[in-house]
Structure 1
Amino acid sequence: SIAHVVSDESYFTRVGLNLLIRQTGSEPLLEMTAKEFMFGYKSTLMTLGNKFMPNWIYFDKLGLIDRMYDFEGDYETVYTGEHDTSKTGLLDTYRGSTKIPQWDSPCGDIHEVSDGTKFPGFIKPNDTLRFFRKSMCRAKTLVKVDETVVSGLNAYVYNFQEDSDDNGAQNENNKCFCKDPEKCLPPGLLDVHGCYYGFPIALSYPHFLGGDPLLSANTTGTNPDPKIHKTFFTIQPESGLPVDLAVRYQINMALGNIKTIANVERFSNMVLPLLWTEIRMYSLPDMLAARFRLYLNVLPNVEQGIMYSLFIMGGCFLLASVYKFITSKSNQRVIYNTCWLEDDLVLNIEKKLSNYKPEKRASMNAKELEVYFSSLMTPLNQDLGYELQDSHEEDV
Structure 2
Amino acid sequence: MLSKCQFGTIAGVGCFLTLTGAIFLASWSSLFDFVLNQQLTLSPTSYSYDLWKDVPIPVYLEFNFFNWTNPDDILDSDPDVRRPKFVELGPYVFKELRKKVVLGWHEKNETVTFLQKRTWHFEPSLSRGSLDDVVTTLNVPAISAAFVIRDYPTFVKGALNAAMILLGTNLRIDRKVREFTFEGYEDPLLDLAAILPDGFLPVTIPFDKFGWFYTRNNSETYDGIFNMWTGKGNIQRFGQMAEWNYNNPTPTYQSYCGWVNGSAGEFFLPKPNKDSVSLFSTDICRTLKMPFKEEVEVDGIKAYRYWGDEYIFDNETRNPDNWCFCPSGECAPHGAIDVSTCKWNTPAFVSFPHFYNADPSFHRAVEGMKPDPKVHQLFLDLDKRSGIPLQVEAAMQINMLLQPYPEYSILKDVPKLYFPIFWFKERARIDDDIGSKIRLLNQVPAAGNILFGMMFCIGLAILAIISFYYIDFRRQRRSEADLKLVGT
One-letter code aligned to 2:269: P
Residue 299 of structure 1 deviates from its aligned partner by: 1.9
Residue 134 of structure 1 deviates from its aligned partner by: 1.1
- Aligned equivalents of 2:373, 2:354: Cα separation in 1: 10
2:312 pairs with 1:174 = no
- Aligned equivalents of 2:303, 2:190: Cα separation in 1: 47
Q: Secondary structure at the match of 2:303?
A: strand
Q: Deviations over 1:14-45 (max 9, x none)?
A: 12212222233333322221111112211222
Q: Deviations over 1:60-88 (max 9, x none)?
A: 11111237888447211223232344543
- Aligned equivalents of 2:382, 2:484: Cα separation in 1: 80
State the match for 2:374 in structure 1: 227
Which of structures 1 and 2 has the bigger CA Rg?
1
Q: Deviations over 1:191-228 (max 9, x none)?
A: 00011111101111111112121111110212222222
More strand by share: 2
Give the count of matched residue pairs: 338
State the match for 1:247 in structure 2: 394
State the match for 1:158 in structure 2: 306
Q: Secondary structure at the match of 2:159?
A: helix
Kept after mapping to 2: 8 A contact 1:247/1:279: yes
- Aligned equivalents of 1:179, 1:7: Cα separation in 2: 14
Counting only pairs closer than 5 Å after superposition, residues 33-72 of structure 1 correspond to structure 2 as: 33-39=176-182, 40-52=184-196, 56-66=204-214, 71-72=221-222
- Aligned equivalents of 2:205, 2:256: Cα separation in 1: 29
2:246 pairs with 1:96 = yes
2:285 pairs with 1:137 = yes
Kept after mapping to 2: 8 A contact 1:259/1:268: no
Kept after mapping to 2: 8 A contact 1:206/1:250: yes
- Aligned equivalents of 1:67, 1:210: Cα separation in 2: 32
TM-score by length of 2: 0.63
- Aligned equivalents of 2:300, 2:223: Cα separation in 1: 40
State the match for 2:92 in structure 1: none
Counting only pairs closer than 5 Å after superposition, residues 315-334 of structure 1 correspond to structure 2 as: 315-319=460-464
- Aligned equivalents of 1:266, 1:319: Cα separation in 2: 94
One-letter code aligned to 1:29: R
Segment of structure 1 superposing worse, 309-318 or 161-170: 309-318
Residue 11 of structure 1 deviates from its aligned partner by: 1.0
Residue 166 of structure 1 deviates from its aligned partner by: 1.5
In structure 2, the CA distance between the partners of 1:231 and 1:301, relative to structure 1 (3 Å rule), is same
Segment of structure 1 superposing worse, 189-198 or 94-103: 94-103
One-letter code aligned to 2:250: I
Kept after mapping to 1: 8 A contact 2:223/2:282: no
- Aligned equivalents of 2:413, 2:351: Cα separation in 1: 22
Residue 343 of structure 1 deviates from its aligned partner by: 4.7
- Aligned equivalents of 1:301, 1:32: Cα separation in 2: 58
State the match for 1:118 in structure 2: 267
Residue 128 of structure 1 deviates from its aligned partner by: 1.0
Q: Which has the higher contact order (CA 8 A, sep 6+)?
A: 2
In structure 2, the CA distance between the partners of 1:3 and 1:216, relative to structure 1 (3 Å rule), is same
**Out of 456, 472, 479, which is 1:311 matched to?**
456
State the match for 2:347 in structure 1: 200
- Aligned equivalents of 1:141, 1:97: Cα separation in 2: 20
In structure 2, the CA distance between the partners of 1:100 and 1:116, relative to structure 1 (3 Å rule), is same
In structure 2, the CA distance between the partners of 1:153 and 1:2, relative to structure 1 (3 Å rule), is same
Residue 147 of structure 1 deviates from its aligned partner by: 1.8
State the match for 1:31 in structure 2: 174
- Aligned equivalents of 1:53, 1:262: Cα separation in 2: 25
One-letter code aligned to 2:192: L
- Aligned equivalents of 2:401, 2:264: Cα separation in 1: 26
Kept after mapping to 2: 8 A contact 1:107/1:174: yes
In structure 2, the CA distance between the partners of 1:74 and 1:18, relative to structure 1 (3 Å rule), is same
Q: Secondary structure at the match of 2:175?
A: coil
Q: Secondary structure at the match of 1:30?
A: strand
State the match for 1:74 in structure 2: 224
Runs (5+) with no aligned partner, structure 1: 345-396
- Aligned equivalents of 1:184, 1:68: Cα separation in 2: 29
**Out of 210, 213, 218, which is 2:360 matched to?**
213
Segment of structure 1 superposing worse, 64-73 or 191-200: 64-73
- RMSD of Structure 2 on Structure 1 (CA): 2.8
State the match for 1:22 in structure 2: 165
Kept after mapping to 2: 8 A contact 1:87/1:121: no
